[in-house]
Structure 1
């Protein structure tokens, strides 16, 4: 049987088969080509992103923030201890050899100083040797140490108080590659990326090793990200855990590795890596972390301290050495073992390092330097007064108004007095909180600012954001409004301090004096000195609630004010900084200037940045301001603040006003000398009654501050338009020319008989009211949630 002949494929069938394969190949080729082209174009886009952000961020220099320079001149009040303390804050070295700038020594009543050169906004100060003689708390002689020539004025270089990025809430300590200690670099690579100098941005072997370990464990136990990938994630990407994000991270890491050297990438990583949180401030970079955790520069760290910084990298929250010291120690010791395994250190060094304590220092690298509350104000005023695009410039130098000596004295007063007030009321230590603002009268500069009893805390700033009822601290505004009408009111105008009943919306409002008594008819100045509620209400209704509210606006209040009679007794809620603005205007004789914390901002080339103009304008007559100041002196001499007479030096004349709110929830004292305005608030964050009045609470802190800082007594010199006249048994009552006549001095005003009762004051039609003691404000939590509208309108968001 003949076997069958095999069938041969016809040429047409072979051509059809080849055509199918060719079409398939073409399709695949086109798909690959398209994908490659798309991937390439996407790579071009990512490359542009990598370059623009990396170039901008790796060398970005923070703005340096300086305190005011200390000015020395003959006649300036200054003790030798205070001068030495200032030099030490400036990091001057005490040494017998004064050959180097930034050194000093003491010789009896003289202090010899080799100053540092420094360039200010108005010129440069050269290095020089000076001799300063101090006797009885005053600089009595100052001359050049080289040629003995008398010197009129010397400015010491200002203290660097912070390094910040003005447009966001961070500060950095920027390091270059040569500033990274070899021990840190070796430890970092041994723990995080041993093949850093060999791979191309991603490490395939590490990926395979991690995949195997994770597969065997059934969960993620090991990561494979290189330092380059971690840098990409910190610089450009989110923290989401998706394959898409990981793929993008790997692609950008390869591009970054292709564009820049390993040392450039390592340096950027060391400055960018996230190492913890301090309130609202993120701790980025090993330089800042070293100061934050150990209060030391990076090159001064010991082996266990370096190991701890690298250990924290794995989880800054989980291994926070302040919150979780045991876990941090365990992780640190694991890093030390890895250091020994990879021969970064010896086994003996490792054992010694593991037995060392963590060495964490409280207050290290405090937020925004040593003065976090003040720096918060600086940030807000930068945004208020300068263009955002200018603030993005690198290397800005910001000269502020902070006086480190006054700030230190204010902080000391707060930290000394608050525990005493806690104990006085039987409270647990730390129950009472406070805020304080110190300004200069003549220039409207904020010299010191305390946002709470913990002066190192960078969180909720009560001086800027605690909006509390001001109570009787509002009363000088009522009297100033009246005295601005000299044809109607003078200091001796009789005011009825008697009960008043007003029916408001069906409810009866019957305010009372604090002592629950009435005092007949009293002269206007005494009504303020004694803080009589009923007299103030009667006066306020005479001048008009609307006029008082308008006066608040003229003095500097920008918050909306509810125009009701209760406003006259303090139902207005303000933060301390805004009340300081009100008193600043009164103290400055009726001239209002927005309080400022910044003197000048220079760019990297030393040129001043343009700022929005801040005009000083007269908003109240100088006569009315002077008469109100005179009446406020009587608050201290014979009114609610007489405690100050035993606290302050006899020759220091001051003026001020106490403030107490409903159920003693808030205690205020605001006042001034000739050149200093100080406002203090004391209360509880939970807004509960605390049992302290303005005179038993805030006044005590205020007195401690004023007794310690350098200030001058109020002067008796009056404006030319003010005349002194004899009235009511006194020969020195000031009056504005053309003042209202004085028929008597009231039942308590002097030898004259009491005036007959005046007609019952009435509300204008449609006017409403609130209870005499203002309703308690909403609770202010220990976080900046309910921020004062003043701060957003006046200081920027």
Structure 2
């Protein structure tokens, strides 16, 4: 059976008569009509409001959950690694600890402190997260004897340590474009006293409200009404975070309304701990030139040169006092005002039972304890930081260096750098005083590890802390006689033809350019010829005539190939004058060239970076040691023997007289035309040092390699006291006695001949 829907039948009597006159609606119909329209109007009005709140909600969540801050990259020196038997002066360790911000005190109570009595140290080390492990804080005793580390022991637990690694020194930063500086901190790592002080002073109901304080807003409204202007905010910590994080500083009703809505949204989505952590990292706490100090982490370093976890109650209260006005309560400019504000914070904490009145009084009587100069305002190694950035650009985008908060661990040795700077500055002044014709001198020094190519020192001129023209990195100058090692190494590789005793003619020589007819007549430095001399003496005394004759006999292209194999990547034209140093290189490129000689024939790329971590301390890239054998050990061994003679008896004999008689080093002087450039490259077992002296305007300055750069090198060596050169004699080399007492190495096994050379061509 099919059911049909029943409908009311329509009758004619139900129809309304057609008439122009309208019937008035009933009161019931009118009320319903108006009610519907009110709801419709309310809905219509709510649509943009809901849409606006939704837009704010998206903004809150996107920025809070995304990349909140552009973080500066932080550049560290190498960590000081101490081990038993290490050659190190006790005063050097003292300087290192002071540079790291350690406090010298009699009774150790917390990390970052040390005690010294003579050659004995007691150090409370800081924890630090390295690229390979996190070193915990520990109390250790370090003892010295005869300028060596005699023992390292830990007190709890009692045990001997094979190695002690101190945290590295922060030596530079690469800032975001807006120059905000911050160190991110985790809320669970922040001292509880800091959180208590912040809540007591800024928002005592922070852990109970929902983002806004009605009472505070009413109080602010009344104050503003009385003043006729916006004079008080009544903001919670959440509202302060919203204002700093999302909004501008304009003082309008619209901005205040947005602040309240966004604070409620922030509290809706995120926990109190998350909001507090963001606040601790965002709050503005100082200005240093164009650098803005944001967050408690960097503020601790900026004012106290100590990490946040090492600060005392009085220090933490001072940081909180800066929240309301970093300029007004700047402790360096307004110390008395800062003390009064700090003490107010301490009183508030005592009133609310967060600390005892006794603790408050002790803290109130404490000095400000800030450093005289802002930490991190000026970093002392701009030339080295330039080198680091140039090598980083090979692997990272420029924007990543400015914003990703990379932690860059470098190879710089602060002690070697300091000694190098002192030797350069004092040496240039001394040269200017002792040689009247010399003025406006500048210089450069590059110090590397002979084995692994790490750049340990990078000195730029008489004002090494000034970020000007980077001479060790960018000054391209003729290298003079430094190039001669390529000539003699090319010859010694042909061991069937040449040895250290091979006679060379140091006689007048001329070369005529077949295209221009120009005649080139080189001269020795003393304007004399010396007849037939053994090869090693020609190099030790840097005789030009003998070198040119040898180089022309070997072939200019072969010399160029040897230079490239030594590590010279710069292209240059091949002329006979290149045999005497018309080739122009930077001090860094010269160091790369001599690194191959110092390492026994292995090309080791010079590097300034060890590790790169992200801002959370996770490794991104390891700069592993790269080694490429470019020459057999035997000819390089012979070359180094000749370079030892150059220091002891040749062009370096003047400086050799100032060094210990048992110190064996190898080196070579270099002088360009008209005494415009003075060079010296010297090395031992550990260190290679290249020094240049000249004028930035390239005018003659009257100094040869021996009277200029070598003098500064000698002063540096006296202070550093490196290990003597002690290369292992290759199996293919034997020693022979000549002239009664002189022992000369000879290559007796020729199986290696040209093997390495052929592979590199």
The TM-score normalised by the length of structure 1 is: 0.65
1:69 aligns with 2:81: yes
Work out which of the residue numbers 404, 421, 433 in structure 2 matches 1:423.
Answer: 433
Q: Is the Cα–Cα contact under 8 Å of residues 161 and 371 in structure 1 kept in the other structure?
A: no
- What CA deviation, in whole Å up to 9, does each residue of 1:121-179 have, x standing for no partner? 77798988877665444456778889999x6x721222321287789797747585996
Work out which of the residue numbers 486, 489, 492 in structure 2 matches 1:483.
Answer: 492
Q: How far does residue 495 in structure 1 lie from its aligned partner after superposition?
A: 4.0
1:160 aligns with 2:162: no
State how 1:169-188 maps to structure 2 within 5 Å. Answer: 172=183, 174=185
Match of 2:66 in 1: 52
1:413 aligns with 2:413: no
Separation in 2 of the partners of 1:712 and 1:408?
19
- What CA deviation, in whole Å up to 9, does each residue of 1:312-346 have, x standing for no partner? 9679xxx999xxx9xx77xx99999999999999x
Q: How far does residue 405 in structure 1 lie from its aligned partner after superposition?
A: 3.9
Match of 1:675 in 2: 686
1:651 aligns with 2:662: yes
Q: Is the Cα–Cα contact under 8 Å of residues 106 and 115 in structure 2 kept in the other structure?
A: yes
Q: Is the Cα–Cα contact under 8 Å of residues 118 and 157 in structure 1 kept in the other structure?
A: no
Match of 2:520 in 1: 510
Q: Is the Cα–Cα contact under 8 Å of residues 130 and 143 in structure 1 kept in the other structure?
A: yes
Secondary structure of the residue aligned to 1:53 is coil
Separation in 1 of the partners of 2:196 and 2:412?
38
Q: Is the Cα–Cα contact under 8 Å of residues 304 and 358 in structure 1 kept in the other structure?
A: no
Q: 1:258 to 1:110 in 2, by over 3 A?
A: closer
Work out which of the residue numbers 485, 499, 504 in structure 2 matches 1:494.
Answer: 504
Q: 1:137 to 1:338 in 2, by over 3 A?
A: closer
State how 1:246-261 maps to structure 2 within 5 Å. Answer: none
State how 1:124-139 maps to structure 2 within 5 Å. Answer: 134-138=144-148
Match of 1:568 in 2: 579
Q: 1:173 to 1:497 in 2, by over 3 A?
A: farther
CA RMSD after TM alignment: 6.4
Separation in 2 of the partners of 1:729 and 1:237?
88
Q: 1:173 to 1:722 in 2, by over 3 A?
A: same
Q: 1:52 to 1:633 in 2, by over 3 A?
A: same
Q: Is the Cα–Cα contact under 8 Å of residues 684 and 723 in structure 2 kept in the other structure?
A: yes
Secondary structure of the residue aligned to 1:723 is strand
Separation in 2 of the partners of 1:118 and 1:306?
23
Q: How far does residue 629 in structure 1 lie from its aligned partner after superposition?
A: 1.0
Separation in 1 of the partners of 2:296 and 2:136?
34
Work out which of the residue numbers 710, 717, 727 in structure 2 matches 1:699.
Answer: 710
Q: How far does residue 587 in structure 1 lie from its aligned partner after superposition?
A: 0.9
Match of 2:568 in 1: 557
Work out which of the residue numbers 472, 475, 478 in structure 2 matches 1:463.
Answer: 472
> For structure 2, which runs of at least 5 residues remain unmatched after alignment?
1-19, 24-35, 349-363, 751-761
Match of 1:577 in 2: 588
> Which deviates the most, 116-125 or 487-496?
116-125
Match of 1:765 in 2: none
Separation in 1 of the partners of 2:99 and 2:742?
50
Q: Is the Cα–Cα contact under 8 Å of residues 393 and 603 in structure 1 kept in the other structure?
A: no
Q: Is the Cα–Cα contact under 8 Å of residues 183 and 344 in structure 1 kept in the other structure?
A: no
> Which deviates the most, 601-610 or 558-567?
601-610
Separation in 1 of the partners of 2:567 and 2:46?
69
Q: 1:438 to 1:103 in 2, by over 3 A?
A: same
Separation in 2 of the partners of 1:311 and 1:415?
45
Separation in 2 of the partners of 1:297 and 1:613?
30
Q: Is the Cα–Cα contact under 8 Å of residues 285 and 294 in structure 2 kept in the other structure?
A: yes
Alignment coverage as a number of residue pairs: 699
Separation in 2 of the partners of 1:201 and 1:416?
63
Q: How far does residue 650 in structure 1 lie from its aligned partner after superposition?
A: 0.5
Q: Is the Cα–Cα contact under 8 Å of residues 386 and 612 in structure 1 kept in the other structure?
A: no
- What CA deviation, in whole Å up to 9, does each residue of 1:223-266 have, x standing for no partner? 999998997898789999xxx99999999888667756788667
> For structure 1, which runs of at least 5 residues remain unmatched after alignment?
1-7, 12-21, 346-352, 740-797
Secondary structure of the residue aligned to 2:637 is helix
The TM-score normalised by the length of structure 2 is: 0.68
Match of 2:455 in 1: 446
State how 1:753-792 maps to structure 2 within 5 Å. Answer: none
Q: How far does residue 66 in structure 1 lie from its aligned partner after superposition?
A: 4.9
Separation in 2 of the partners of 1:100 and 1:33?
58
Separation in 2 of the partners of 1:427 and 1:591?
41
Q: Is the Cα–Cα contact under 8 Å of residues 50 and 252 in structure 1 kept in the other structure?
A: no
Q: 1:505 to 1:308 in 2, by over 3 A?
A: farther
Q: How far does residue 270 in structure 1 lie from its aligned partner after superposition?
A: 5.8
Separation in 1 of the partners of 2:240 and 2:508?
74
> Which deviates the most, 394-403 or 472-481?
394-403
Q: Is the Cα–Cα contact under 8 Å of residues 62 and 394 in structure 1 kept in the other structure?
A: no
Separation in 2 of the partners of 1:586 and 1:171?
44
Bigger Rg, structure 1 or 2: 2
- What CA deviation, in whole Å up to 9, does each residue of 1:80-135 have, x standing for no partner? 4445555655638564789999755547x766778788887777989888776654
Secondary structure of the residue aligned to 1:561 is coil
Q: 1:338 to 1:399 in 2, by over 3 A?
A: closer
